[in-house]
Structures are given as C-alpha cells and as structure tokens.
C-alpha cells in the first residue's frame, strides 16, 4: 500500500447536485398583486354578502323562519328603524320574517296598546265613563286594523303598474305594518301626554320620512320610485284618518 492510497478518502461524491431542493415560494405580502386573490378584507366580505342578499330577490323572503330562537325581534327592528332608518329597513329585509310573525309580535300588540291608552282620558278629562273609553278604544283599534288592509287593497289599484305587486309580498306588507306601527306609537304618546299634543301632532312627519328612506328595500323601478313613495305616504297616513272618521262618526253612532 502506497502513501497515496492512505491519503485517498474512503468515499467521494463527484456530483455536486444537492440531494433535495426546496422551491422558492415567497409568501405574498398584502401589497403584492399576486396575493390579491387570496387576501380578503372583512368589510369587503360584508358588502358582498349584503349585495348577495339584495340580488337574491324577494323570492328568498318567502322562505319560512329557520329557527325561532334566532329570529330577530320585530319590535327591536321597529325601534332600530325609527332611530336609524337605513339600517333598520335593511334589518327588516334580512330578517326574512313571515307577515304573520311580524303582525303577531309587533303590529297587533302595538295597536292594542294604543287602544288601551285611550283610558288616559279618564285622568285628564271630566265626565269620561268606562263606556266612553271602551268605544274610543274600539274605534282606535279598528282605525289601524282596517287601515292596514285598506292600504294593501288600495295600493294594488292606485300605485303605478310597475310597483303594485310589491304590497302583495311579505316585505311589502311588513313595510306597511312597520310604518303604521310608528303611527300607533305616536298616537299612544298623544293620549298619555295630551299636554304635549301641539308638538306630538307633528310626529307623523317622521313616519313619512321613514317611508321615504325605506322604499328602496321594495325594489321599486327607478322611474316610478318617487310616485310610489308619495302614494304610499298618502295611503299610510290617509287610510287611518279615513277609518277613524268612518268608525267614530258613522259606525259607532249607529250601534
């Protein structure tokens, strides 16, 4: 064995190629254009969901309530609409309530309370009997009860042809109920605090404003949106006034 054989290594790797290689795959930063498809902003997601709800159309509103426990309170939606009209109307549409649910949990109880509030006259006026209160309470209940159905029926004839069908859908009926529920609340306040009647009597103007802000959720065509808004305001305010006169001046005196 020579000295060269002793100095030679036992093994030798002639190929310099590494045994494995990791592909460079840099993580895209928020500013990189390549990462735009995988990065989402929460606000954008919410806007997309809202847009999807609007594009789904009113047919989706015909679906039954999936979970009663998760169903938003119609009364809470009413109060939210009164103080933040745009968000309140959106909440009403997203809730996808059935008309019967909204009526039984908001509209009918409020007009019932409005009718009972007539008893306050016994504390502010003299010579008001229990019978007088019963007649006034019945008149008030019938005013809003028949007023609602009259708006639905009259709207099918008086509204522009392109927007007549909206009041036949759940969202259209709930729209009218919510607006008339505000009138019932205002009338209740007037009965309880008659000393503020000169100021409270203008509260129905707030109902008109709510109708103006909420007509967009009905998906009315743009070319008839203004006329539909004006006629809805006239019907929602005018029908209760008409029925109040019919009941108090015509029907009850004949009873």
Q: Looking at the predicted structure, is the pLDDT value of residue 123 above 70?
A: yes
In a 3-state reduction of DSSP, which class is residue 190?
helix
Q: Are 151 and 181 in contact (CB under 8 A)?
A: no
**Number of Cβ within a 10 Å radius of residue 155:** 23
Q: Are 73 and 79 in contact (CB under 8 A)?
A: no
| Rounded average pLDDT over 4-24 | 52
Phi then psi for residue 10, to 5 deg, are: -65, -30
| Rounded average pLDDT over 235-248 | 94
Whole-angstrom Cα distance, residue 46 to residue 40?
A: 11
37 confidence band (pLDDT: 50, 70, 90) = very low
> Which tokens in the block code for residue 91?
């909440």
Q: Looking at the predicted structure, is the pLDDT value of residue 155 above 60?
A: yes
Q: Whole-number mean pLDDT of the chain?
A: 80
- Positive or negative, the Cα torsion across 150, 156, 157, 162? positive
Q: Looking at the predicted structure, is the pLDDT value of residue 38 above 90?
A: no
What angle separates helix 204-214 from helix 225-246, to the nearest 10 degrees? Answer: 150
pLDDT at site 126:
79
3 confidence band (pLDDT: 50, 70, 90) = low
| Rounded average pLDDT over 144-157 | 96
pLDDT digits 0-9 by tens, 77-118: 999 999 999 999 999 999 999 999 999 999 999 999 999 999
Question: Of 161, 174, 160, which Cα lies nearest the Cα of 231?
Answer: 160
């Amino acid at each position: 064995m020579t000295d060269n054989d002793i100095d030679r290594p036992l093994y030798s790797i002639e190929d310099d190629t590494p045994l494995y290689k990791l592909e460079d795959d840099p993580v895209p930063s928020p500013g990189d254009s390549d990462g735009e498809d995988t990065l989402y902003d929460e606000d954008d997601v919410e806007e997309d969901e809202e847009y999807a709800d609007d594009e789904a159309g009113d047919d989706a509103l015909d679906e039954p309530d999936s979970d009663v426990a998760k169903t938003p309170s119609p009364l809470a939606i009413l109060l939210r609409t009164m103080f933040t009209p745009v968000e309140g109307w959106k909440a009403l549409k997203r809730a996808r309530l059935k008309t019967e649910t909204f009526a039984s949990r908001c509209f009918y109880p409020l007009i019932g309370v409005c009718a009972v509030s007539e008893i306050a006259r016994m504390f502010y006026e003299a010579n008001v009997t229990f019978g007088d209160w019963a007649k006034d309470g019945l008149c008030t209940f019938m005013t809003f009860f028949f007023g609602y159905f009259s708006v639905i029926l009259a709207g099918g004839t008086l509204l522009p042809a392109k927007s007549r069908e909206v009041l036949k859908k759940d969202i259209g009926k709930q729209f009218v109920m919510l607006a008339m529920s505000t009138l019932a609340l205002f009338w209740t306040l007037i009965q309880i605090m008659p000393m503020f009647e000169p100021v409270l009597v203008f509260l129905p103007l707030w109902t008109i404003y709510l109708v103006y802000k909420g007509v967009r959720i009905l998906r009315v065509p743009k070319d008839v949106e203004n006329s539909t808004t004006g006629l809805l305001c006239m019907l929602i305010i005018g029908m209760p006034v008409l029925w109040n006169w019919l009941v108090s001046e015509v029907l009850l005196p004949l009873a």
